[in-house]
Structure 1
């Protein structure tokens, strides 16, 4: 199994749905300051999937894939299956910015 930078299931879900990186990128539409709609690039999508995506990016990706955001994260059993020497993190930290006021929002989820 190929080693990923994070353990998100995005690539797995894309494969299940028969989507390419370009397909997924084309499903995420942004509106610029001139009210023009544009999709994100394949390179941007790749960096979001393989890097450390923000909470807002995860919501966009989940919406584009037609799944709940929780489905992007592996279940505890999948952590153990994917790499016997790697332990699931006990805490996920996510940070995003409020689209209304620009305040930073941080959230953390602890596994029990």
Structure 2
């Protein structure tokens, strides 16, 4: 299978991949706003997982703008039992988790819920 055509089929995500194939990565913990800001400041990579679409890797130069303009106001509180999408602009939100990746270091995975 051409990994550039691979799509997200489930949430929560069970693995990460890029155009070269699967990555040696694993989920470590759910994260909230303060954690995401800290991880971004430390140079973490950011990726969006939306069921039915390919993983969307956010370019390093765009990470802070994407956080500020898209994610911050739609970030779900970690470990909630139920998401009420009407609490978020445009009725969608992101659940964030930190993943540890052998080649990339810390990766912020944003699973989109709509």
TM-score by length of 1: 0.27
Quick one: higher RCO (CA 8 Å, sep 6+), 1 or 2?
A: 2
Q: Between Structure 1 and Structure 2, which shows a larger proportion of strand residues?
A: 2
Q: Between Structure 1 and Structure 2, which shows a larger proportion of helix residues?
A: 1
| Larger of the two Rg values belongs to structure | 1
